[in-house]
Copies of this chain bind each other. A is one copy, B any other.
Amino acid sequence: MPVNLVPPDPAGLHPVAGLELGCARAGIRKAGRRDLLVVRLAAGARAAGVFTRNRFCAAPVRVCREHLDAAGGRVRALVINTGNANAGTGEHGLADARQTCEALAGLLGVSGREVLPFSTGVILEHLPMDRLLAGLAPAIEDLAPSHWAGAAEAIMTTDTVPKASSRRIEIDGHTVTVTGISKGAGMIRPNMATMLGFVATDAEVPQSLLQAWVREAADQSFNRITVDGDTSTNDSFVLIATGAGGLRIDAADSGAARALRAAIFEVARELAQAIVRDGEGATKFISVQVERAGTDEEAAAVAYAIAHSPLVKTAFFASDPNLGRILAAIGYAGIEDLDVDALDLHLDDVHVATAGGRHPDYREEDGQRVMSQAEITVRVSLNRGTAATTVWTCDLSHDYVSINADYRS
């Protein structure tokens, strides 16, 4: 049951000049569903990406990195399949990913290293290459600039809602578009990026700036979410600038650059939060804000300790203000010299804990009121510095167990 998340209105997903999307039913894992997406980019398009830091990274992630390096960010196509992650597949998997790129490149008349491959789905199984390759031609036939909604749907795995976000803004007299899609619901604790996220703009952006923005955007969006603390083997977040619109960005510190950067970050954050809203079994959307920490690492450690605690997450599921579980998580976050008597804990506007115990004004019914909401902010002030961070997560419900106990069946 996604939390305040509805399928995107296709009319609200603005086409990005220089970019077309096409889907096919390749039968990768299940017959009849659209599971293969091809994205074609105009000549001159550039991309930058951030990828999983899981050492067991999937074959397509390795090939993506190679191709981005080899072509200096020049990209003409993306190919994305769902149903099979092509991870834990060794040399065979690398060969499959490369063959997929070459086959698509041949059909589009571009170079293989200008194609980026992405896969998501079950780990430790080989791609059904015959069916995947046979799906490329129908996907190409389907190419159109307006097919964002279908693309968002084609990359879903256990997602229940397609995820897309779009902005159209005026910069220096140009109408600039930023549109993106993402997928992911489980195995979500991105550590560079999320399962799959793609954001494109029609502005022209230098490669160095694109690379900086994709990292910063990931740090403020996909790297701040967690569903179950499991970092995927396939996390990939790619930022594309087709350059086919009128705007050309030259310097990072221009007003135009700042406006475009803000729009890109906004889309990335919305896509990242959509993954949490549709987290496997999620019934609550939780923002964990840690303030006045000594360092960024300390703030993140406390935020993730809370966001990953199964006991905290089941309490949210139960709408039970069993808030001592949050204090316990703060306590084991690894800050050796933490003074627990100095910290404050708020749940939305309710002051829960202070001076090492319950706040004198705290009343169970106030905690209960906030815990019953679909969106809740946990705010921890460590009162020992100036660092702060926010992490978004969801609760842990029966449906999480059901979904993951049944995923392959």
Contacts and interface: CB of A to CB of B under 8 A. Distances in A.
Nearest to A332: B231
Contacts of A404: 310-311, 314-315, 318
Interface in A308-360: 308-311, 314-315, 317-318, 320, 322-325, 327-333, 335-336, 338, 340-341, 353, 355-358
Nearest to A57: B331
Given A124-B358, A314-B404, A404-B311, A328 B230 contact: yes
Interface stretch (A19-27, A81-89, A133-141): A81-89
Interface string A194-229: 000000000000000000000000000000000011
A53 interface: yes
Interface residues on A, range: 35 or more
A285 B194 CA distance: 32
Interface string A85-129: 101111111000000000000000000000000000011110000
A397 interface: yes
Contacts of A54: 328, 331-332
Interface string A367-409: 0000000000000000000000000000011101110111111
A242 interface: no
Nearest to A325: B123
Q: State the number of copies, please.
A: 2
Contacts of A328: 54, 56, 87-88, 123, 187, 230-233
A170 B65 CA distance: 65
A191 interface: yes
A353 B328 CA distance: 37
Contact of A398 (B53, B57, B333, B401): B401
Contacts of A231: 328, 331-332
A228 B311 contact: yes
A162 interface: no
Given A124-B358, A332-B53, A88 B324 contact: yes
Contacts of A91: 355-357
Interface of A: 53-57, 85, 87-93, 122-125, 186-187, 189, 191, 228-233, 308-311, 314-315, 317-318, 320, 322-325, 327-333, 335-336, 338, 340-341, 353, 355-358, 396-398, 400-402, 404-409
15 contacts: A56-B332, A88-B327, A88-B358, A89-B356, A90-B341, A90-B355, A123-B324, A123-B327, A125-B358, A228-B311, A230-B325, A232-B328, A311-B404, A320-B405, A396-B401
